[in-house]
Chain A
Amino acid sequence: MVSEERRKEILDNLSEGVVEYEEDRVVEYATAALEEGLDPFDAIMNGLAAGMEIVGDLYDRQEYFVPEILMCADALYKGLDILKPHLKKDSNGAGKPKGQVVIGTVQGDVHDIGKNLIKMMFDVGGFTVHDLGRDVPLEKFAEEQLRTDSEIVALSAMMTTTMMGMKKVIAMIKEKNPDVAIMLGGAPVTKDVAKLFGADGYAESAGNAVQEAIKMIGQLRKLGEEAAQN
């Protein structure tokens, strides 16, 4: 076990390494975390993810723009690649893989910067992510969900017009598997649109996407339990 002081030092360096997009520093301290027996979940959440939260604030304050965010994300992934394989699968649920997500930008739409950020948040949040990329044929989402048996499908659309494709995807998936939680996002998507299309969740930004997803899974599990009891 590491001392509280050393723990703080490692976490601060992971966080700052992400904020300052210093990949080498992140690699160094992620490796140290493992070697010195720091809980990888702690390192991810209170190191890497905490750094990304600061990055989000810098972005909101227009101090950071998209290039900086992408570089921070690279640094974060460097740490995640090292730490994630060591997450304890059974320790009181905290580090348990939370579930699987299929994610992609819908057909006709090549905007993928926002989608990639959401993907990163799911990665950080401990989900297993199946990324279909951009301009994804609508039926592909349902196929991939079935293939992977994922609990969540997250759709991104940046144009009002391609957003209409989401409605079709939702229908296709729900028809085959009504228990899948579907989450929408992207600039033209609003809470009302998500509801109208029959989606289960919506998040305005990367920051709250994961909380929203976890809430959705929670609801689904509850529904599942109720169904089992009846």
Chain B
Amino acid sequence: MPEMTPRERVKRFFKREPIDTMPVFSGMGMVTIQAIDKMGIRFAEVHGSPDYLADSASTSSDIYGFDSVVVPYDMCTIPEAMGRGCTVYADAEGILYPTVPSKWDNYESIEIDPDYAAKARMPVVEDAFKKLIADGKYAVGSWVLGPFTLGGQVFELDVLLKGIKKEKEKVEGFMEKMTDVVIDVAKRYQALGTDYITIREMGSGTDLLSPRMWKQLIQPYLRKIFAELESPKILHICGGTDLIVDLMNDCGADALSFDQKNTLAETRKKIGDEVILLGNFDPYGTFCTMDASEVEGVIKGCIDAGVDAVWPGCDLWPEVKKENVEMWVKTVRKYGIRPTPAVGRV
């Protein structure tokens, strides 16, 4: 059988059909400074142009041999379309991710423009997807923040957190609104033909919320979201997750993704071999600070712990060391020919 194309490999991977080798990919941003430099642009310029977004993603994959491309790179597209603004730090020396400058700070002032999906950079991202899909070379990954994390982007997080106990109905009403937005945007990305979608409920780990609160406040909405979406659909949470693995596994996602704080081997035992497990190296530490010689150990550690594909715990920080990323790809290609718990080999 001839070697699979990146796109075939990823599509079969999520269907849990036998593949030739483990794909090297992620559900979160994978843009690298090498691609940005090659294009002769600056990171701050990337976010506003469909061509820059699409080209920086595919150039990164061309350079390193990734199997997927993922856009956008920042978490402000929806907040910006809702009128909360976006700071891109055009003058910053190094790389800074865009942030949201103004948030709602009381429930009464929240007003969601029914036409937000056509505003600000929402069409830019969709055009970038269209270009990447038309190109067809790589699997196209999309993502949307989970309702709680998106909520924290448009509304003062501490007011939201305090409200969980003090103003329960208001918080629930707000979470419902955010859930509708997540479903709406995710469905748009699926309708365009993206190959998989990751729901990143990253601000909801046990660094902030107790497992009990997670069950009450996060799980019902994630269940609703996953029930509405087509497969393949992945749930990602970063930070402390060991105490909520079972709850996460009961949301309707096809695959679960964790960051470096998760004890993966234990997680694999809890979820069994049927569920696709993704994770969990620290992208900044592994690619930006570590010596390249240490990378193989980290990547192999993830495989030994029982992942089906070695995902970074978050977006790649773009200023990666080239040799380190190459080592990720090389190590996955070397050990990834063997089957993993949820995905066989041809």
**A107 within 8 Å of B (CB atoms):** yes
Which residues of A in the span 79-112 have a Cβ within 8 Å of any Cβ on B? 107-108, 110
Nearest CB in chain A: distance from B100 CB, A: 7
Assess the B210–A74 pair: CB atoms within 8 A: no
| Alpha-carbon distance between A110 and B203 when the two chains are bound, in angstroms | 13
Assess the A113–B158 pair: CB atoms within 8 A: yes
| Alpha-carbon distance between A97 and B157 when the two chains are bound, in angstroms | 31
| Alpha-carbon distance between A78 and B101 when the two chains are bound, in angstroms | 28
| Alpha-carbon distance between A135 and B103 when the two chains are bound, in angstroms | 13
Assess the A113–B157 pair: CB atoms within 8 A: yes
Assess the B165–A162 pair: CB atoms within 8 A: no
Assess the B162–A70 pair: CB atoms within 8 A: yes
Which residues of A in the span 22-75 have a Cβ within 8 Å of any Cβ on B? 62, 65-68, 70-71, 74
**A160 within 8 Å of B (CB atoms):** yes
| Alpha-carbon distance between A160 and B284 when the two chains are bound, in angstroms | 8
| Alpha-carbon distance between A113 and B158 when the two chains are bound, in angstroms | 7
Task: Say which residue of B96, B164, B210, B319 sits within 8 Å of A107 (CB atoms).
Answer: B96
- Tell me how many residues of B have a C-beta within 8 Å of chain A: 29
Assess the A74–B162 pair: CB atoms within 8 A: yes
Q: Identify the interface centre among A62, A66, A113: most chain B CB within 10 Å of its CB.
A: A66
- The secondary-structure label for the interface of chain A is helix
Assess the B101–A66 pair: CB atoms within 8 A: no
Assess the A67–B161 pair: CB atoms within 8 A: yes
Task: Say which residue of B89, B100, B158 sits within 8 Å of A108 (CB atoms).
Answer: B89
Which residues of B in the span 150-202 have a Cβ within 8 Å of any Cβ on A? 157-158, 161-162, 164-166
Assess the A65–B213 pair: CB atoms within 8 A: yes
Q: Mark A159-176, 1 if CB is under 8 A from B, else 0.
A: 011101000000000000
Task: Say which residue of A65, A71, A110, A161 sits within 8 Å of B317 (CB atoms).
Answer: A161
Assess the A65–B210 pair: CB atoms within 8 A: yes
Assess the A110–B158 pair: CB atoms within 8 A: no
Which residues of B in the span 88-139 have a Cβ within 8 Å of any Cβ on A? 89, 92, 94-97, 99-101
**B207 within 8 Å of A (CB atoms):** yes
Assess the B96–A67 pair: CB atoms within 8 A: no
Nearest CB in chain A: distance from B34 CB, A: 17
**A116 within 8 Å of B (CB atoms):** yes
Q: Which residues of A have CB within 8 Å of B164?
A: 67
Nearest CB in chain B: distance from A110 CB, A: 5
**B249 within 8 Å of A (CB atoms):** no
Nearest CB in chain B: distance from A33 CB, A: 25
Nearest CB in chain A: distance from B158 CB, A: 5
Assess the A65–B208 pair: CB atoms within 8 A: yes
Q: Which residues of A have CB within 8 Å of B213?
A: 65, 67
Q: Which residues of A have CB within 8 Å of B208?
A: 65-67, 113
Assess the A67–B209 pair: CB atoms within 8 A: yes
Assess the B96–A162 pair: CB atoms within 8 A: yes
Q: Which residues of A have CB within 8 Å of B5?
A: none
| Alpha-carbon distance between A113 and B159 when the two chains are bound, in angstroms | 11
Q: Which residues of B have CB within 8 Å of A62?
A: 206, 210
| Alpha-carbon distance between A160 and B195 when the two chains are bound, in angstroms | 32
Assess the B96–A71 pair: CB atoms within 8 A: no
Q: Which residues of B have CB within 8 Å of A67?
A: 161-162, 164-165, 208-209, 213
Task: Say which residue of B99, B162, B165, B284 sits within 8 Å of A135 (CB atoms).
Answer: B99
Assess the A107–B89 pair: CB atoms within 8 A: yes
Nearest CB in chain A: distance from B266 CB, A: 17
Known: A107-B89, A161-B95. A70 touches B100 (CB 8 A): no
Assess the B158–A70 pair: CB atoms within 8 A: yes
| Alpha-carbon distance between A101 and B46 when the two chains are bound, in angstroms | 38
**B87 within 8 Å of A (CB atoms):** yes
Assess the B99–A108 pair: CB atoms within 8 A: yes
| Alpha-carbon distance between A67 and B96 when the two chains are bound, in angstroms | 28
Q: Which residues of A have CB within 8 Å of B95?
A: 161
| Alpha-carbon distance between A116 and B162 when the two chains are bound, in angstroms | 14
A-B contact pairs, 18 of them (CB 8 A): A62-B210, A65-B213, A66-B161, A66-B209, A67-B161, A67-B162, A67-B208, A70-B158, A71-B166, A108-B96, A108-B97, A108-B99, A113-B208, A135-B101, A160-B285, A160-B288, A161-B284, A162-B96
Closest 4 CB pairs of A and B: A108-B96, A67-B161, A66-B208, A65-B210
B interface residue numbers (CB < 8 A to A) = 87, 89, 92, 94-97, 99-101, 157-158, 161-162, 164-166, 206-210, 213, 284-285, 288-289, 317, 319
